[in-house]
C-alpha cells in the first residue's frame, strides 16, 4: 500500500523523439495523445500497477483497415508490482567481475588468446625482438631465447629506421647469435610455400604448438601463415586440396585481421592448441564503450562457444559435432551444462543456473525461439559443413524492481543519430541450447541502472492505450510506404521498461559523456506497452523484417500515450 502524490509528466514525456535502435526509421513516429501541462495528481491509494491500468487478461481485436487486417488474440502481461518509477540507464564496460564469471563458468582449462592494443606508424612494420644479455655465450643466448619464447613482444620502428638497422652485417651477426633459436629457424628469409594440405596443416599445428616461428623481415603472426596458405592454394591443382587449404587460410585471416587494425597478438600457453582438431581463438579486445570482444576455442574440456560482443559482433554457434558424439557418457555427466536429450523445461532450468553462475541474477527468460545450428571443422573437413540440427535460442531481459526491460531492436547494430553520434545498441543476452545442452552464449552492450525519481509515475488505463494503438497503427504504416496488403497478428502485449534517449528529459546538452577515456551513453527507462506479434506480406516488408518474425510492432509510452518506436 502506498499513499502519496503522483506526477503526470504528459508534456515532458510527449516530447520524447528518440528511442532505441529501430529497424526502419520511416516507421518511427511520435504522436502525443494530447498536449497538456504537467499536472499534480492526488491518486489516493494505489495497491498495484494492475489496479491502476485495469488491463484485461487478453486483448482481442479483429479489424479490416483499408490496406491490411489487424488480428489480435493476445495475452496481456502486467508486472506484479506496486508501482513503476522512472530509472536512469547508462552504458558500461564489462567489469573484471564479469570476466571472472566467464572464465570460471566457460573457460576452465581452455587456452586463451588476448589481443592487446598497440599504436604505431602505419608505414612501419614489425620485427620480433629477443633481448640478448651482454657478455653471454651463444649457447646461453639460445637457452635464454627458449625461455623467453612465450613472452615475445612486437616492437615498432619507422621504415627508414628499419632500413638503417638491418644491414647485411647485422643480419649475419643476428644469425650467429641466435643459434638453435626457435628450433633452428634463424635465417632472415621468407619460408618456402608448403605443398598440399597435410603439409600446410602440419605447419599450422607446429606454429601454434610453438615448434615453428617465422623470423624474418615481417611480423611473427598468423598473417604470415595466411599468405603462405594463399600461395599454396595457387600452387595446388586439386580443387579439394585447394578448398581445405583455403579453410586454413580463413582461420589465419580471422586471427591476423586484428593485427591489421593495429592490434598485436600476445600468445598465452599457445602450445596447448597443438593437435586440436578444431580451432577457435579467444580474444580480449579493447573496444570503446563495449570494452571487450571475448571468444574461446572449444576442446574436450570446454565444448561451449561464447562471446561478449561489441556493437557490430556476429552471434553464432560452433562445435565439433563428431567429437561430441564420440565422447563417453562418463565425461558428459561431469560437464555441468552438457547433457543429452533435455526437454525445454530442463533447458530453462539450466539457463537459470547459467545466469546465476554468470552473475546475471537480475534477469528473466524473455523468449524462446526455434533455431538451427551447424558446425565447421576448420582443420579436417574445411570444405564441408555438418547437417543443420534443431536448437533453442533463449533470450533474457534485465529485470528492474520486478519490471522487465524490453528491447525494441533485434539487430546488433544501429544507425547514426541526427547529431552524428552512433545510436546506442540495446543490451542483449542470449544462450543457444541443442540436444546436447548449452552450445553458445553471447552478451552485448552491458548496462548499469540507477534510481532517478522517487515517485511512482501515473499510468494511463489500458483501454486508452489499446485505442491509441488501433488509431495510430494504420497511419504509422502508411507513412512513406503507400498502400499495403497483408495481416498483422498481435499475440502478446507487455508492460515494461523501454529505454529512451532524451536530452530534454535528462536536462542535459548531450547524452554522451567521457569517463576514463570511455564514451558513456545515458538514457531513461520509462514504462511502455509493447504490442508484439508477427506480420505477413507488405507489412513485414515495411517493417524491414521477414514474414513471421516476432517483434514489437508498436511501443506506446504508458504515461502519456506517445508512440516511442516502430
Nearest CA to 368 out of 345, 389, 387, 388 is that of 345
Question: And the C-alpha cell for 17?
Answer: 523523439
Question: And the C-alpha cell for 307?
Answer: 562471446
Would you put residue 359 in left (φ > 0), alpha (ψ -120 to 50) or beta?
Answer: left
pLDDT range class, residue 276, cuts 50, 70, 90: very low
> Each residue of 401-433: pLDDT tens digit?
999 999 876 554 444 555 555 567 788 888 887
Arithmetic mean of pLDDT over the chain = 64
Cα angle at 308 between 323 and 346, to 5 degrees?
55
What pTM, to 2 d.p., does this model score?
0.59
Place of cell 490496406: 67
State which H helix or E strand residue 172 sits in. Answer: helix 168-177
Residues 432, 433, 435, 437, Cα dihedral to 10°: 130
Q: State the DSSP string of 478-526.
A: HTTT-S---EEEEEEEEEEEEEE--HHHHTSS-SEEEETTEEEEEEEEE
- DSSP β-ladder status, 39-41 and 512-515: unpaired
CA distance 532 to 406: 11
Residue 263: count of CB within 10 angstroms of its CB: 17
> Each residue of 291-341: pLDDT tens digit?
333 444 444 444 455 444 433 222 222 232 222 222 223 322 223 333 334
- Give yes or no for a contact between 185 and 142, defined as CB atoms under 8 angstroms apart: no
Average pLDDT on 366-374 reads 75
pLDDT range class, residue 512, cuts 50, 70, 90: confident
pLDDT range class, residue 210, cuts 50, 70, 90: low
> Each residue of 228-243: pLDDT tens digit?
888 999 988 888 788 7
- Give yes or no for a contact between 307 and 285, defined as CB atoms under 8 angstroms apart: no
CA 53 to chain CA centroid, nearest Å:
36
The residue ranges of every structural domain in the chain are 6-92+452-565, 115-268, 284-445
Go through 437-457 and write b for each residue having 16 or more CB atoms within 10 A of its CB, e for each that does not.
bbbbbbbbbbbebeeeeeebb
Average pLDDT on 353-376 reads 81
Q: Which of 8-17, 103-112, 157-166, 226-235 has the highest mean pLDDT?
A: 226-235
CA distance 167 to 172: 9
- Give yes or no for a contact between 525 and 426, defined as CB atoms under 8 angstroms apart: no
Q: What is the pLDDT of residue 560?
A: 92
Residue, of 444 and 466, whose pLDDT is higher: 466
- 272-281, 448-457, 505-514: least confident range: 272-281
**DSSP 8-state code for residue 105:** I
Q: What is the pLDDT of residue 427?
A: 86
Residue 121 pLDDT > 60: no
CA distance 441 to 396: 11
The number of residues in the chain equals 566
CA distance 123 to 111: 33
Give the SS3 label for residue 36: coil
**DSSP 8-state code for residue 380:** T
Give the SS3 label for residue 90: strand
Average pLDDT on 383-391 reads 60
Q: Which of 16-25, 188-197, 375-384 has the highest mean pLDDT?
A: 188-197
**DSSP 8-state code for residue 27:** G
CA distance 373 to 385: 10
Residue, of 78 and 392, whose pLDDT is higher: 78
CA distance 559 to 525: 12
- DSSP β-ladder status, 153-157 and 125-129: antiparallel
> Each residue of 28-71: pLDDT tens digit?
333 334 333 333 334 444 579 999 999 999 999 998 887 788 99
Amino acid at each position: 500500500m502506498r499513499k502519496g502524490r503522483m506526477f503526470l509528466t504528459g508534456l515532458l514525456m510527449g516530447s520524447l523523439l528518440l528511442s532505441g535502435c529501430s529497424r526502419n526509421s520511416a516507421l518511427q513516429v511520435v504522436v502525443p495523445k494530447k498536449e497538456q501541462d504537467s499536472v499534480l495528481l492526488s491518486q489516493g491509494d494505489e495497491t498495484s500497477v494492475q489496479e491502476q491500468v485495469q488491463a484485461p487478461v487478453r486483448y482481442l481485436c479483429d479489424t479490416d483497415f483499408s490496406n491490411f487486417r489487424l488480428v489480435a488474440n493476445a495475452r496481456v502481461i502486467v508486472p506484479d508490482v506496486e508501482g513503476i518509477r522512472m530509472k536512469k540507464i547508462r552504458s558500461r564496460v564489462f567489469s573484471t567481475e564479469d570476466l571472472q564469471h566467464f572464465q570460471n563458468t566457460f573457460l576452465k582449462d581452455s587456452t586463451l588468446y588476448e589481443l592487446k592494443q598497440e599504436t604505431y606508424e602505419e608505414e612501419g612494420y614489425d620485427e620480433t625482438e629477443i633481448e640478448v644479455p651482454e657478455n653471454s655465450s651463444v649457447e646461453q643466448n639460445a637457452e635464454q631465447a627458449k625461455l623467453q619464447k612465450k613472452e615475445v613482444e612486437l616492437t615498432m620502428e619507422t621504415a627508414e629506421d628499419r632500413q638503417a638497422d638491418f644491414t647485411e652485417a647485422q643480419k649475419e651477426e643476428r644469425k650467429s647469435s641466435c643459434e638453435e633459436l626457435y628450433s633452428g629457424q634463424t635465417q632472415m628469409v621468407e619460408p618456402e610455400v608448403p605443398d598440399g594440405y597435410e603439409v600446410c596443416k602440419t605447419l599450422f599445428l607446429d606454429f601454434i604448438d610453438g615448434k615453428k616461428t617465422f623470423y624474418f623481415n615481417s611480423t611473427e603472426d598468423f598473417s604470415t601463415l595466411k599468405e603462405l596458405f594463399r600461395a599454396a592454394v595457387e600452387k595446388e591443382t586439386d580443387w579439394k586440396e585447394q578448398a581445405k587449404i583455403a579453410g586454413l587460410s580463413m582461420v589465419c585471416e580471422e586471427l591476423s585481421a586484428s593485427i591489421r587494425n593495429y592490434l598485436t597478438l600476445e600468445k598465452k600457453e599457445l602450445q596447448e592448441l597443438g593437435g586440436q582438431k578444431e580451432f577457435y581463438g579467444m580474444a580480449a579486445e579493447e573496444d570503446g564503450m563495449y570494452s571487450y570482444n571475448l571468444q574461446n576455442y572449444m576442446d574436450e574440456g570446454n565444448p561451449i562457444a561464447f562471446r561478449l560482443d561489441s556493437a557490430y559482433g556476429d552471434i553464432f554457434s560452433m562445435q565439433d559435432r563428431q567429437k561430441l558424439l564420440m565422447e563417453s557418457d562418463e565425461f558428459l555427466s561431469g560437464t555441468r551444462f552438457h547433457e543429452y536429450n533435455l526437454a525445454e523445461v530442463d533447458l530453462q532450468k539450466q539457463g537459470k543456473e547459467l545466469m546465476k553462475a554468470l552473475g546475471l541474477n537480475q534477469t528473466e527468460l524473455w523468449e524462446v525461439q526455434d533455431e538451427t545450428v551447424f558446425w565447421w571443422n576448420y582443420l579436417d573437413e574445411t570444405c564441408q559443413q555438418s547437417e543443420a540440427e534443431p536448437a533453442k535460442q533463449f533470450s533474457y531481459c534485465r529485470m528492474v524492481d520486478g519490471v522487465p526491460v524490453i528491447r525494441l531492436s533485434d539487430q546488433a547494430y544501429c544507425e547514426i543519430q541526427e547529431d552524428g553520434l552512433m545510436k546506442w545498441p540495446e543490451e542483449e543476452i542470449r544462450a543457444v541450447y541443442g540436444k546436447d545442452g548449452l552450445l553458445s552464449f553471447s552478451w552485448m552492450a552491458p548496462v548499469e541502472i540507477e534510481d532517478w525519481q522517487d515517485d511512482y509515475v501515473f499510468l494511463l488505463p489500458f483501454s486508452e492505450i489499446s485505442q491509441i494503438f488501433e488509431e495510430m497503427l494504420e497511419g504509422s504504416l502508411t507513412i512513406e510506404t503507400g498502400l499495403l496488403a497483408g495481416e498483422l497478428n498481435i499475440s502478446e502485449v507487455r508492460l515494461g521498461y523501454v529505454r529512451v534517449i532524451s536530452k530534454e528529459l535528462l536536462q542535459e546538452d548531450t547524452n554522451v559523456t567521457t569517463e576514463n577515456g570511455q564514451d558513456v551513453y545515458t538514457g531513461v527507462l520509462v514504462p511502455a506497452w509493447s504490442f508484439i506479434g508477427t506480420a505477413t506480406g507488405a507489412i513485414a516488408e515495411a517493417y524491414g523484417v521477414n514474414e513471421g518474425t516476432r517483434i514489437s510492432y508498436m511501443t506506446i509510452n504508458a504515461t502519456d500515450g506517445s508512440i516511442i518506436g516502430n
